[in-house]
Amino acid sequence: MAQRERESIYFISDIHFGLQVEGEERLKLEKLELLFALIREDGRALYMLGDILDYWMEFRHVIPKGFTRLLCLLGDLAASGVDIVYVAGNHDFYLGEFFERELGLKATLYGLNSFEYAGRTFLFAHGDGLGQGDVGYKAFARLVRNRFNLGLFTAFHADLGVALMKKLSYLSRHHKPVDIPRESNRLLNFAESIAAEQEFDYFVCGHNHVEGVHQLRNGACRYVNLGTWIDGRYPYGVFSHDEFLLKEL
């Protein structure tokens, strides 16, 4: 199907490949294959909003094993003409050039970004480090993604590097803010603060695994959280025919 005939924009987040036992990992891959088949039918773009992998660090000459099938699926989808954008999450410690050069993804990004499509403005991010609070994580992210520290890390033997990634991933998952209700609402509150300053139609994110769609107080903007794939459900977002829907495989 020609790119101009494809109308839908798809969104996924927080799949955390590499986290769970073999059977659950296999089922997530099967669900992803089903989703990619849908995207090939009418999708012009796929936005992966972080933590697709439970741990990832790009080395100079080594690709961490365990994700071969996923990487092949991504490369095939990109080759079919779908624009794929990967936003780093707190478990994607560093996205370098591999996904773009080797797999053909359109872009790898960090933080808060935006695009316009069909007369709508989309703000999108993983969600880590946005808004007030969680100072410890923000300091951790600056430390991990510092260029000097990245150079040191990638100089390690890959087996040692992967072991360290898994440990950091564990620490990131088990880091708990003192005020849990406030943390659950932090991204929604951040979207409200942005809506008070600028115009947009959708703020799309993941990170806190709290799936849902909320109309913001100004009545013109919507907050969308894509949820997670680690609890036996497989949600995704799709914008098509002037409507944003959360669906499930």
What pLDDT, in 10s, does the model give residues 24-44?
999 999 999 999 999 999 999
pLDDT in tens, 201-249: 999 999 999 999 999 999 999 999 999 999 999 999 999 999 999 999 9
Measured CA to CA, the distance from residue 21 to residue 241 in angstroms comes to: 38
Per-residue pLDDT band at 93 (split at 50, 70, 90)? confident
Read off the pTM.
0.84
pLDDT in tens, 130-183: 877 665 556 556 656 666 556 666 666 566 666 666 666 555 555 544 444 445
CB 237 within 8 A of CB 245: yes
What element of type H or E holds 244?
strand 243-248
Among residues 91, 96, 90, 92, the alpha carbon closest in space to that of 61 is found at 96
Cβ atoms of residues 236 and 226 within 8 Å: yes
